[in-house]
Copies of this chain bind each other. A is one copy, B any other.
Amino acid sequence: MTDSRLAPVLDRIDADLQDALDRLMTLLRIPSISTDPSYKADCAQAADWLAKDLATLGIDAATRPTPGHPMVVGHGGDGAAHLLFYGHYDVQPVDPLDLWKTPPFEPELEDTEHGKVIRGRGASDDKGQLMTFVEACRAWKAVHGSLPARVTFFLEGEEESGSPSLIPFMQEHAEELTADLALICDTGMVAPGVPSIASQLRGMLKDEFTITGPRIDLHSGHYGGPGLNPLKEIARIVASFHDESGRVAVEGFYEGVHEVPEELKRQWESCGFDEKTYLESVGYSQPHGEEGYSTLEQQWARPTLEVNGLWGGYMGPGSKTVIPSKAHCKITCRLVGDMDPDKLREKIRAHVAERLSPDAKVTWDSDLEGSPAAVMNTARPEFEAARGALTDEWDREAVFVGMGGSIPIAGYFKSILGMDAMLIGFANDDDAIHSPNEKYNVESFHKGIRSWARVLAALSEKG
């Protein structure tokens, strides 16, 4: 499609790239780790910075307090189409810190074999992606004096810590936050250079439990033998979560899971995903999930029960002959199809309770939430329009793909606001998000900005 409004906007984006990178660097220097209370002030600072930056685009933007970290909400532009853009300014914790080659919050441009990258926590997830949309709007504003559509900005600061304030805030401000369509930039490309629209996302269930053996820590000489060791107990229980085929062994776990339609499976197989590179890049010679499913199916269409943290006893230097009183385990499940997070939580808790030894006790963290899987409404014309815009920018057919990650917001937009969402992102599998040395390719950032400029053009023609 040709749109006379677009060419000057794209030129402006190219000319402004260095300044756009500098703005991203400024945002990346704010350590907005939402899950750790000691970074509360930093989260607030990131929100303030974004509200001020949006104001420079003529957006009526402000931070909005919540019981947790603030939201940033802004309104601007005009036109028939009304779009909501969502991203999150909070980031994951940075441990283990000693594995970072550069300080996580001192971002740097770095030349790599795959081109220039922006290195630092949040570069890809999600500050870098969020700014691709903001910069596209900045270029539209600079060239045409306004955005091509009505745009509502909705930026969250709790995405990496379970979004505790999100649902109440959306319910309270439903009218203000409802648009024709939500755009979300928090996903990746199925392969380098292959523009991707996520059409299905896995849901998420988080839980944490503590097993108590003896009332106090014990001397492993005095009680070694008769003593119940909660570390052995928790290891036995964690081991019982899966069978030898990699299948989750919790009774009823697969309720609501559907097989992938053959036709979609074929699309996935031809979407350019390079399984070998994907696995080898992290040191795997083979997939380690459920037998009988491809890597993409294991990741996009099959549920998981993952252990994210396991600890107890002495972890310091040297040795300590102790039988600890307590052992701890953090788990997350990825959900697909119609799996119900609340029912699943009960099944998992029952699985653990049934396997406890006499004298062992289990307690559960009650503050961890869940969200079901989400399937996008790809029948809407905006999806084809966006696919065309992405195909033009990347000179490669854009594809509908699944996503292994969980972005509950997409489901909430539908269930709370009755609004469909479209997920477009430019991250690469090797971005190391949630890991040390996170990076975002400058190509993703640059062509991502250009992509949003094209998508805005395509969607604003519709009106």
Contacts and interface: CB of A to CB of B under 8 A. Distances in A.
Contact of A35 (B226, B279, B316, B436): B316
A83 to B, nearest CB: 25
A160 B13 CA distance: 64
Contacts of A313: 307-311, 330
A332 interface: yes
Interface in A342-369: 357-359, 368
A115 interface: no
A378 interface: no
This chain: copies in complex: 2
A225 B282 contact: no
A32 to B, nearest CB: 14
A49 to B, nearest CB: 23
A396 interface: no
A232 B306 CA distance: 8
Interface stretch (A19-27, A106-114, A295-303, A417-425): A295-303
Contacts of A288: 226-229, 357-359
Contacts of A319: 35, 161-162, 206, 208, 308, 330, 332, 368
A320 B239 CA distance: 20
A311 B312 contact: yes
A292 interface: no
Contacts of A96: 217
Contacts of A217: 96, 99, 432, 434-436
A322 interface: yes
Contacts of A404: 221-225
A320 B93 contact: yes
Counting contact residues on chain A (CB < 8 A from B), the size range is 35 or more
B226 A434 contact: no
A447 interface: no
Nearest to A238: B235
A358 to B, nearest CB: 6
A323 interface: yes
A458 B182 CA distance: 90
Contacts of A240: 239
Given A316-B93, A320-B308, A435-B217, A287 B234 contact: no
A36 interface: yes
Contact of A304 (B225, B289, B359): B225
Interface string A101-141: 00000000000000000000000000000000000000000
Contact of A290 (B225, B239, B279, B359): B225
A229 B26 CA distance: 35
A327 interface: yes
A335 to B, nearest CB: 11
Nearest to A314: B309
Nearest to A202: B221
A323 B298 contact: no
Which 3 pairs from chain A and chain B are nearest by CB? A221-B405, A35-B318, A225-B298
Interface of A: 34-37, 92-93, 95-96, 99, 160-162, 188, 202, 204, 206, 208, 213-229, 231-232, 234-236, 238-242, 279, 281-290, 293, 295, 298-299, 302, 304, 306-324, 327-328, 330, 332, 334, 357-359, 368, 403-406, 429, 432-437
